[in-house]
Structure formats: structure tokens, C-alpha cells
Chain A
């Protein structure tokens, strides 16, 4: 594994170095360098510090593990691979993500999972350990979003979750009392059968962050799915 001290390094030089590396890379002293690992299809990246915006954008199969918090737009339009963040994460995590997995130990900011999509075997997954800000899963068109609310002292999501959601599935570890979902989605308590589909992700989350799987599973979950096969009906024109 190559070690790179990114202190005083321009993000472009850092990313060139990462791209040219022929083995796995560890970056330490990260401080706001943008686009780390963008488009990367192989290798494993370990990052210590605070990587900058658009970490792992267009990620195409590589694995990124961050020891620290991550900023905005992690995994933007990610296609494949895995991003693990041992900390909190900024706004717009997994924007338009279309494959791969993102695991966040702590909280996520606003608009996590906005416009996630899926196609056949490409099913992206976003798993957040803490809580998220408003507009979770805005315009979600596919894929899986899980929010576990571990240690939360406030609602598991902020305002206006699932606005414009028309595909995919969302699972919240909460009874969701007091959370207003829009008319275009259906929220119901998750059954054992419902949970089965999500279990592999929760299991992986617990292994990554050393959480007690039993304790997490032994809670009430709410499953949210889009309510209609024609979500735009009557939205713009009388059709």
C-alpha cells in the first residue's frame, strides 16, 4: 500500500497520484481535497482526515474507506464500488447514484440519496447509521435507502422525506410518528418478510462499524415505497 501525505497538495496532483498508483493507496492528512477517487474502478483507498467534496464521484468499482467525516456530494453519480465513512457526511450523499454501496456510521446532511436510480441488476444502496436532514430520497427513482437512527435524540429524518419519490425502497428504523410523508408514497410498519431484503445491508453495516446486529434488528422499522405505477398522474396535466 502506497502512503500519501496530502498536506499542501493540490487536489489535482493528489488525484493524479492516486490514479497512477499500481497498488492500494492510503491518504493521510486529508483536508478538503476534492474529487478523491473520482471514476476509479480498481484499488482500495483509505483516507484519514477530512476529504473534500465529491469524494468518489462516478466511482466505478473501487473501494473507499474514510476515517473521519466526509463533506458534500459523496458518491455523486456513482456506478459501482463501495464507500465507507467512519463519521458524518455532508449534503447530497449518493446524488443520482446508480450502483454500488455507501455506508455511513454517523449522520447525513440534507438530500441524501436524491435521485438514486436502478436498472436490472444495478441496485445502489445507501445505509446511514445516524439520522439525516430534510429531503431524504428526494425524487428517488430506484435503489435502497436505509436509515438506522442509532443513538438519535431527534427524528430519524428531517422534513419532506421522499418528495417526488417514484421508485426504489426506503427503510427507516423508527415508528415515524410525526413524520409527514407525501401522498405519492406509502409508509407502513415493516414486516419480517419486508426486512429480509434489507438484512444483508444491515448485517454488513454492523460488521463494518462493530454494532450489535440483534439490538438494531430488534426495533420497529417503517418501509416506504412509491404508491403508484404512474406517480406523475395528475401532477402536471389532467391525464
Chain B
């Protein structure tokens, strides 16, 4: 498994998502198909998916998906896991052998429960505890990467074209109420398994098309709060920013969007007084979390999705719906692949978040 960070490759990317507002389950088939018309937005150096509601039999346990370079890393990593969690179940993530996907690491999943005694003695809430263990493994165990760590959800990613990655992980055998997908065209780095999208922490996942020019400013700020950017890819930092703002600072999704895609001062000045005050506050307090440069992202979380473009809208994004389902993608063609009769198609404005939630109690 190669690490990235040395070569610079200029460029697209494709993102796609579907969610049922009624919490109805869908297999991974449609979301895989949605990536086919956008094939040429990727170059085969990364593809991935996140599915929500896919582990109903383990819904109360954290599902850790981990890449290992070799079996010796498993021992080292499991030592940390056993010190922190009760491991309810562990298994290899089922994959399909296929010529399109090669050089795969060992891919495991663990369903775990944090040890109560540790939570009490460390005085940490469960989620914070899980975050710390994930950061510990990703920084201290060379050759082991936790790439998914939420409850009743999971990220699946690899080096390859997204439609192949979806088949590789047999996503047609999973059922979820919400799916996101990504096809990668790495811009700054060669592309490796850990660097594929989605990036996940707890139940937050990000798929991203674009290139963040504020990466280092964002990274320096977020690393002050215990996050470690280990994957050398700009998207990783967006995931941590989402976790920091939503979980730790308690911001709403709309407020989070106003931080990372803050309107121009000129635009803020034109707003009504109350809104102006709030936008000013957010932009001032979290100025280091403003993300500049082109991006269209889809943030997945427990029970919902949020799509967002950079404030200048330098990347494309289309939203459509049909019955209980909402579709989001880089291109309308991807939406029409999932639902030929999709309705109310529109492109959100730059910086205008699109938030879709599953009805209360339906997931």
C-alpha cells in the first residue's frame, strides 16, 4: 500500500447520493449504477461508498472498518482495540475477486462497544472515546487505518473505478436508507486505498469533488482539538471540521454550512440585521474553518444528508426527487440513472446547503 504526498497530478471527481425520507431500504445497486454515466470524471485511482442503516443487527455497536497492510498489523491494532472495547464480532469484509481491483490490503470489520469502566474513569462520553481510539490507531499503528467508525453505517472504498469498487464490496447485498458515492480523480497525490472517499469519523462521512486551497489553515486549526490529519488528502479535514462543529460545538447543519462556505462580507452586509449578526459571529469565531477553493460535498450522517457547494460554486451539483427519495449528484445523468422520472431538478446556489433528513423514528 503506497502512501501519498509526493507527486502532484492536476484535475474532476464525481459524487452521488440517494436517501429515502421514509427510511425505506435500498440495496447498493442503484448508487453503483449512478456512477456509470460519470465514469469519465474519475480516473480509476479511487472510488467509494457510504451506506446508512446497513447493520441493523449490530445497530448499537460501533462498526470499525480497518485496512491492514499485513497480518502483523492486525495483532498490534487488536491490542489497542481489546484495551478499549468489547469486541462483539469481527470478520473479514466480504469482497469479490476481480481483475479491476488489485493490491487490496486486509480489510476487516469489528463491531465494538466501548468499555464502560474506561468511559467512567476517563470521564469521556462514548463518541469522544471512540474518536480518540480511531486517532490513536491511525497515528500510532503504521499500516493500519480505521476508515469507518460509525454505528449502523459503513464506508467502503478502494483504488479503482467506483462502479468496480461497489461490485468488489458486494454492495448489492447491503440495504440502507441512505447512500453516498464518490469517483476519484486525485489532484495532488497518486491515490491510495486510505485516500479514497468517503472519509468517515463516527457516523459523519464526506464525499468531495474539488480541491481545498485552505487545507493547511484548516488542518492547523483542527489539529489543536485532537484531530490528526494522517491521510494527506484535503477531504479528510472536512470530515473533522464537520465532527468538530456539529458534535463538539453543537452547531446546526445550516450554521455549519455558514462556517465552511461563509458568504462574502458584501453578501452578509446585505442581509437583514438578525441574520447579519449571526453570520458575522460565525465567520469571525470560526474564521479558520472557512473552506476556500472549489468544492461540492455531501455530508452523510445518522438519519440524513447535507449537500453543499463552495460559495462561488466552482463545482457542479444537481438535486432531484421522486416520491420518498431525494437524489444529489454532480450530473443530472447520474440522478436519471437512479430514477428516470426524477422531478423538481435544480442546482442549489453556492453556499446554500441542501439538508435532507429521514422522518423521525423511521431509521
Chain A interface (Cβ < 8 Å from any Cβ of B): 11, 31-34, 49-50, 52-53, 69, 71-72, 88, 90-91, 107, 109-110, 133-135, 158-159, 180
Select one of A31, A134, A135, A180 contacting B337, CB under 8 A. A31
Flag the segment in B220-228, B238-246, B299-307, B344-352 that touches A.
B344-352
Closest to B41 in A: A53
**A34 neighbours in B (Cβ, 8 Å):** 40
Flag the segment in B46-54, B167-175, B328-336 that touches A.
B328-336
A133 near B349 with CB under 8 A, answer: yes
B336 near A31 with CB under 8 A, answer: yes
Closest to A92 in B: B316
The CB with the most chain A CB atoms within 10 A, among B40, B313, B333, is that of B333
Q: With A109-B347, A133-B349 known to touch, is A32 a contact of B313 (CB < 8 Å)? A: no
Chain B interface (Cβ < 8 Å from any Cβ of A): 37-38, 40, 267, 270, 312-313, 316, 318, 331-334, 336-337, 345-347, 349-350
Docked CA distance A11–B36 (Å) = 12
A132 to chain B, nearest CB (A): 11
Closest to B329 in A: A32
B304 to chain A, nearest CB (A): 25
Docked CA distance A50–B316 (Å) = 15
Closest to B263 in A: A159
B333 near A32 with CB under 8 A, answer: yes
Q: With A32-B37, A34-B40, A88-B345 known to touch, is A134 a contact of B313 (CB < 8 Å)? A: yes
Contact sample, A vs B, 17 pairs, CB 8 Å cutoff: A11-B40, A32-B332, A49-B336, A52-B37, A52-B333, A69-B332, A71-B316, A71-B333, A90-B316, A91-B313, A91-B316, A109-B313, A110-B313, A133-B350, A134-B349, A134-B350, A158-B349
Select one of B37, B40, B313, B345 contacting A31, CB under 8 A. B37
Closest to A52 in B: B333
B268 to chain A, nearest CB (A): 12
**B313 neighbours in A (Cβ, 8 Å):** 91, 109-110, 133-134
A167 to chain B, nearest CB (A): 23
B148 to chain A, nearest CB (A): 29
A194 to chain B, nearest CB (A): 28
**B334 neighbours in A (Cβ, 8 Å):** 32
Select one of B38, B267, B312, B350 contacting A32, CB under 8 A. B38
Docked CA distance A133–B346 (Å) = 11
Docked CA distance A182–B45 (Å) = 43
B332 near A159 with CB under 8 A, answer: no
A32-B333, A133-B350 given; 8 more Cβ-contact pairs under 8 Å? A31-B333, A32-B331, A71-B332, A72-B331, A88-B346, A91-B313, A109-B313, A110-B313
**B331 neighbours in A (Cβ, 8 Å):** 32, 52-53, 71-72
Docked CA distance A59–B187 (Å) = 30
A14 to chain B, nearest CB (A): 12
A90 near B347 with CB under 8 A, answer: yes
A159 near B345 with CB under 8 A, answer: no
A50 near B40 with CB under 8 A, answer: no
B93 to chain A, nearest CB (A): 30
Docked CA distance A110–B333 (Å) = 18
A91 near B347 with CB under 8 A, answer: yes
**A134 neighbours in B (Cβ, 8 Å):** 312-313, 349-350
Docked CA distance A84–B9 (Å) = 37
Select one of A50, A133, A158, A159 contacting B336, CB under 8 A. A50
Closest to B38 in A: A32
Closest to A135 in B: B312
Select one of B332, B347, B349, B350 contacting A50, CB under 8 A. B332
Q: With A31-B337, A91-B347 known to touch, is A72 a contact of B316 (CB < 8 Å)? A: yes
A76 to chain B, nearest CB (A): 14
**A110 neighbours in B (Cβ, 8 Å):** 313, 347, 350
**A135 neighbours in B (Cβ, 8 Å):** 312
A106 to chain B, nearest CB (A): 10
6 A-B pairs with the lowest CB-CB distances in the bound complex, closest first: A32-B333, A32-B37, A110-B313, A31-B333, A50-B332, A109-B347
Docked CA distance A110–B270 (Å) = 20
Docked CA distance A142–B318 (Å) = 30
Docked CA distance A50–B347 (Å) = 15
**A109 neighbours in B (Cβ, 8 Å):** 313, 316, 347
Docked CA distance A88–B318 (Å) = 11
